[in-house]
Amino acid sequence: MRTAYSVETVRAAERELMARLPDGALMQRAAAGLAAACADLIGRVYGSRVVLLVGSGDNGGDALYAGARLARRGAAVAAVLLAPERVHAGGLAALLRAGGRVVGTGADAGSTAGAAAAAGVGAVEEAILRADLVVDGIVGIGGKGGLRPDAAQLVVLVAESGAPVVAVDLPSGVDADTGEVRGAAIRADLTVTFGTHKPGLLIDPAREYAGSVRFVDIGLGEVLPAEAELEALQHVDVARLLPVPGAESDKYRRGVVGIAAGSARYPGAAVLAVSGALRGGAGAVRYVGPAGGAVVSRFPETLVSDQGPAKAGRVQAWVVGPGAGDDAATVAEVLDADVPVLIDADGLRLAERDVVRARSAPTLMTPHAGEAAALLGVAREEVERARLASVRELASRYGATVLLKGSTTLVLDSAGGAVRVNATGTPWLATAGSGDVLSGLAGSLLASGLSALDAGSAAAYLHGLAGRFAADGAPAGAHDVAEAIPGAWRDVRD
Ligand SMILES: NC(=O)C1=CN([C@@H]2O[C@H](COP(=O)(O)OP(=O)(O)OC[C@H]3O[C@@H](n4cnc5c(N)ncnc54)[C@H](O)[C@@H]3O)[C@@H](O)[C@H]2O)[C@@H](O)CC1
Ligand SMILES: Nc1ncnc2c1ncn2[C@@H]1O[C@H](COP(=O)(O)OP(=O)(O)O)[C@@H](O)[C@H]1O
Ligand SMILES: [K+]
């Protein structure tokens, strides 16, 4: 399991650890890891031109000490100081001792203040445009709000230069706790993060700014609390969750999943939800709705009923909503069942909030950003900008487990706890019907006995992986994703 901790938690852990260690030890660990990562990225350190963007906090200190290490290995290192009067003094001294220099600030004694400033800006621009590597030490976990104008200007220059960028701890300008980005932010090729991942490194839009992320262990693990703010499952975690039939299993014991989906207008949604459900571990799939003909002709193993959900026969979990159109009665009937229910697509619009809240069996809601926005009464962009806040708000309003889909998929249990973030997806999954496959798959895992949180996060994991396998660099349809699920399942179990 990969975990991420909030700034507040990291600060507390750092205080505890620092109290046991000599002064500056943590920063030296961070700087050593950072310098090594920079060296790996540029390949040849000797003779390379490295520019450090140095803010007034410890993030700048990390950059300066790492710069000193690179300078000792023969790099030409220039530091741009955003606030020379508040720069990390020890870091700056180390850089200067190692042969590094400062560009841009306090330039050219003797000239007028205006000319000096102009000369400074010119020198900074030139250094950044000619750099082989830019190290972003503007702000780390101490960043507050959007970047200030002088820092934002540097962001523009760095983007123009096209030089590879290594961000120290976090790309400056992104919110460490939420993954939100307000205004200008550094786009890094690599982010070297210390002690633990921060939520922002795993959640879009910030995740995209981070590039690849390299973790440097500074010993924080031993003082971090057991429960993280965010967790990302890995193969081993998902393998432990997946149901495996035993000698005594039969189709009923493995669980029966009911799919109440599709309409005359959208029969395909029913077929796709069933295609996911058949690959999700339940022993049988029951279909209820007007698309029975289409479902059986594609998947003859489906148990089809033309009665409503209440009369369809026993199931261990329901999926309701994909392609359901305006059939509110079916949604209400499913919500009345005393088994776990997954609500997706049209079902999210049709489900009464008070009814969902009052359910005693688990409920898993699986909106995409547009559906989440409609439920919350905000614009879609607002959800995409603030995914973590959105998933929390939805779970609390509905008293349900919520899986928020999109470029970052987040799952939060109705009872709270760590938010699960799925890292396996691919933008190729943004294809019509792929959400229907996911809801069938998650419903099937629910029926086989997983909790709503585990079913949702294991399904997102397998679905993301299946999307990768199906697409493999070329467009794939939702049915291809469903067909790739068994391969993803095997990959996880192996
Ligand atoms: N505390 C520790 O034990 C360790 C901290 N480390 C580094 O220290 C960083 C945190 O250092 P700090 O707490 O000094 O904070 P930062 O260096 O992240 O930022 C604080 C400084 O940035 C300025 N600032 C804040 N918001 C800004 C904005 N929007 N635009 C421009 N400037 C802004 C503030 O004036 C403040 O001086 C970590 O991210 C990490 O890089 C590492 O050295 C590892 C050890
Ligand atoms: N940019 C993206 N990167 C990764 N996964 C994505 C992206 N966009 C969408 N997805 C995934 O694709 C699926 C789309 O589901 P959904 O929006 O419900 O589609 P539909 O309604 O057509 O079935 C979800 O699992 C979602 O997480
Ligand atoms: K930074």
Over residues 358-397, the pLDDT tens digits come to 999 999 999 999 999 999 999 999 999 999 999 999 999 9
CA distances from 253 to 250, 281, 452 (A): 5, 11, 18
> Is 280 part of any known ligand binding site?
no
- The answer to whether residue 110 scores a pLDDT higher than 50 is no
Nearest atom, ligand 1, residue 173 CA:
29
Interface predicted TM-score (ipTM) of this complex, two decimals: 0.94
Where does 131-279 have alpha helices with state H? 149-161, 206-210, 235-241, 267-277
Cα of 169 vs centre of ligand 3, distance in Å, is 6
Q: Give the predicted TM-score (pTM) of the model.
A: 0.94
With 0-12 / 13-18 / 19 or more C-beta atoms within 10 angstroms meaning exposed / middle / buried, residue 112 is exposed
- Boundaries of every domain in the chain: 2-230, 235-493
H helices within 265-340, ranges in order?
267-277, 292-298, 328-335
Instruction: Name the residue with the closest Cα to ligand 2, atom 14.
Output: 435
Q: What's the topology of domain 2-230?
A: Rossmann fold (3.40.50)
Q: Which residue in 209, 213, 142 sits closest to 179, CA to CA?
A: 209
**Average pLDDT estimate for 178-185:** 96
- The answer to whether the annotation marks 6 as part of a ligand binding site is no
Ligand nearest to C-alpha 269: 2
Question: Pick from 70, 217, 202, 69: which is nearest to 133 by CA?
Answer: 70
What pairs with residue 4 in β-bridges? 197, 230
Q: Region 291-310: what's the mean pLDDT?
A: 96
Is residue 14 in contact with ligand 1, taking CB distance under 6 Å? yes
Confidence class for position 108, pLDDT limits 50, 70, 90: very low
| Residue 99 is assigned to a ligand binding site | no
Q: Quote the ligand 3 centre to 178 CA distance (angstroms).
A: 16
Which tokens in the block code for residue 372? 């989440």
Within 13 A of 177's CA, how many CA atoms are on the CB side? Answer: 11
Task: Please give the pLDDT value at position 448.
Answer: 97
The annotation status of 203 as a binding-site residue, yes or no, is no
pLDDT at 118: 64
With a 6 Å cutoff on the Cβ, whether 296 touches ligand 2 is no
407 touches ligand 2 (CB under 6 Å): yes
Closest by CA position to 216, among listed 140, 132, 138: 140
Q: Does any ligand 2 atom lie closer than 6 A to the CB of residue 429?
A: yes
Residue 321: CB within 6 Å of ligand 2?
no
Is 145 marked within a binding site?
A: yes
Which tokens in the block code for residue 345?
Answer: 């697509």
Q: Which ligand is nearest to the CA of 86?
A: 1
**pLDDT-based confidence at 75, cuts 50/70/90?**
very high
Q: How far is the centre of ligand 1, averaged over its atoms, from the C-alpha of 144 (Å)?
A: 9
**In the predicted model, what is the mean pLDDT of residues 61-89?**
98
pLDDT per position as a tens digit, 225-258: 999 999 999 999 999 999 999 988 888 899 999 9
470 C-beta closer than 6 A to ligand 2: no
Ligand 3 is an ion; residues with CB less than 5 A from it: 136, 167-168, 172
Say how many Å lie between the CA of residue 431 and the centre of ligand 1: 41
How confident is residue 324, by pLDDT bands cut at 50, 70 and 90? very high
| Strand stretches in 321-468, DSSP E | 341-343, 363-365, 401-404, 409-412, 419-422
User: Could you tell which of 139, 150, 186 is best to mutate to test the pocket of ligand 1, judged by most ligand atoms within 8 Å of the CB?
Assistant: 139
Q: What is the CATH number of domain 235-493?
A: 3.40.1190.20
φ/ψ of 142, rounded to 5, equals -90, 0
Q: Is 83 annotated to bind ligand?
A: no
* SS3 at position 37: helix
User: In sequence order, what DSSP letters do the residues of 11-27 get, joined into one string?
Assistant: HHHHHHHHHHS-TTHHH
Pairing of strands 230-232, 2-4: antiparallel
